[in-house]
Copies of this chain bind each other. A is one copy, B any other.
Amino acid sequence: MRKSAADRFRHLFNRSLILLRHRHHHHPFPSSSSLSPFSRSRFFSSTPFSMASDSPFPVTAQNINPKVLKCEYAVRGEVVTLAQNLQKDLQANPGSHPFDEILYCNIGNPQSLGQQPITFFREVLALCDHPAILDKSETQGLFSTDAIQRAWQIVDQIPGRATGAYSHSQGVKGLRDTIAAGIEERDGFPANPDDIFMTDGASPAVHNMMQLLIRSENDGILCPIPQYPLYSASIDLHGGFLVPYYLDEATGWGLEIPELKKQLEAAKSKGINVRALVVINPGNPTGQVLGEENQRDIVEFCKQEGLVLLADEVYQENVYVPEKKFHSFKKVSRSMGYGENDITLVSFQSVSKGYHGECGKRGGYMEVTGFSAEVREQIYKVASVNLCSNISGQILASLVMSPPKVGDESYESFNAEKENILESLARRAKTLEDAFNKLEGVTCNKAEGAMYLFPQIRLSQKAIKAAGDANTAPDNFYCKRLLNATGVVVVPGSGFGQVPGTWHFRCTILPPEEKIPAIVTRLTEFHEKFMDEFRD
């Protein structure tokens, strides 16, 4: 493994930044230079504009918002489209490929791969959807007593018991009270329900913040590289500037303050107003869990530099190693003595992750602290334009932050479901990590948390040339080959950003545990053949 990727590529960053700016000012597409962290596959694929000039349609790719053209979201990009076509082909012609099913390891979507929902959560949601059955006798036989109690409590928290009404723009006040209490219990510091803005998953919350902060392409947002491409997409859509900071692969994707400072200064010297720092903890796609000391340094950095700390904490329940623990940035800040007026901090949370993985419910919230009343009014106003997030998602967010407790009727079964899932995820992460590390030319850091592994593949010159001949990026080339040979869908590293000249892919740890051995065998066989085929 490389000693310090961040050091080694220090000299490249300035050029990289210049190239990024250049594309911002003149090109709808990112630079193809290998010095940019985003050597995106899109650049190599055939342009979609061939039919545009004589288009019968008033809207063409030439006259839509160039920010839309520019944004990219690789998690559902080209490889996934190929996979969907393969799946249709498999259904139409069974046996036509060397695998029976497509395994979608491209996206953190646990229930799509067979993970079962948490019973207590679903009981409460069903009862809140149809409160008319709450006092029927048959209901006692179908639902646990504490689920019925909780549903009553929630329905009573909704003004007029109107579960089908728009709520307050920030979400139902009673549910925000529950969430704030859950945050207090987690952190040991006060939380204010008026700081909670409930959203349809975490993605709209991230967009809200980017929309608030970005005024022009001269406004920069510090983002980790590799990053979850929601951030690059959202920055592109809002016309801002992504200021990359590199996580150090050699130290387990370490987030180093000198690297932050260097990139901040470099951006400033180019005239970029850096407004915020995005930290994803536990890391996506990188799986690291930050240490508390490191987090203190990050808070201090934001405080000193006047940056908003945008803390993506959606994987807070997903920690798999005993030596690491999740600490929210709010807790860390408050434990340093920094209060509401000292640090501007937004924490994103989602019901899609954790042990429950309720992606389809689109629940989430942001806890917004350290903003003036006048700015908070603006955040509220923008939330109001979309009226409110969905109530089922709001209810689920309150459940996630206030699950059954010791002594509750459902507690034991709830806890068993939860622990089974988390322990299985930990085993799957370890098995896949070990398997990747056994492959020739592959190194893979531990997934301490989150739902992903991000192995580095060292590709031969011959493979890189073959990718070039196929008009695609080397990591994309590898991932497409992998898909065609095994049915396993992973996302090329270029969709997340990577140190220029290195190649990775992101693979979720979510396939059902019983399928993991077969997947490892298939991956290994494919990789050996690939390496042999393209040996220099």
Binding site for B on A (CB under 8 A): 48-49, 51-52, 55-61, 63-69, 71-73, 75-76, 107, 109-114, 117, 119, 122-123, 125-127, 129-130, 132-133, 136, 138-139, 141-142, 159-160, 162-167, 169, 200-201, 203-204, 207, 211-215, 230, 233-234, 237-238, 275, 306-308, 341-342, 344, 352, 356-362, 370-375, 377-378, 381-382, 384-393
| 8 closest Cβ pairs, A-B complex | A126-B130, A112-B165, A360-B391, A362-B390, A58-B306, A76-B384, A111-B164, A126-B129
Please determine whether B166 and A384 come into contact, CB atoms closer than 8 angstroms: no
Contacts of A362 in B (CB 8 A): 200, 388-391
Please determine whether B386 and A201 come into contact, CB atoms closer than 8 angstroms: yes
Give the Cβ gap from A299 to chain B, nearest Cβ, in Å: 14
The copy count of this chain in the complex is 2
16 more A-B contacts (CB under 8 A) besides A61-B374, A142-B142? Answer: A48-B377, A58-B306, A59-B213, A65-B215, A71-B381, A75-B384, A76-B169, A111-B160, A111-B162, A126-B126, A126-B133, A138-B138, A164-B359, A200-B362, A359-B388, A361-B392
Please determine whether B117 and A164 come into contact, CB atoms closer than 8 angstroms: yes
Contacts of A112 in B (CB 8 A): 159-160, 162, 165-166
Contacts of A119 in B (CB 8 A): 132
Please determine whether A381 and B72 come into contact, CB atoms closer than 8 angstroms: yes
Contacts of A72 in B (CB 8 A): 381
CA distance A112 to B172 in the complex (A): 12
- Tell me whether A133 and B129 are in contact in the complex, defined as CB-CB below 8 angstroms, given that A51-B372, A165-B109, A359-B165 are known contacts: no
Please determine whether A64 and B215 come into contact, CB atoms closer than 8 angstroms: yes
Contact partner of A387 among B69, B203, B212, CB < 8 A? B203
Please determine whether A60 and B360 come into contact, CB atoms closer than 8 angstroms: no
Please determine whether B52 and A372 come into contact, CB atoms closer than 8 angstroms: yes
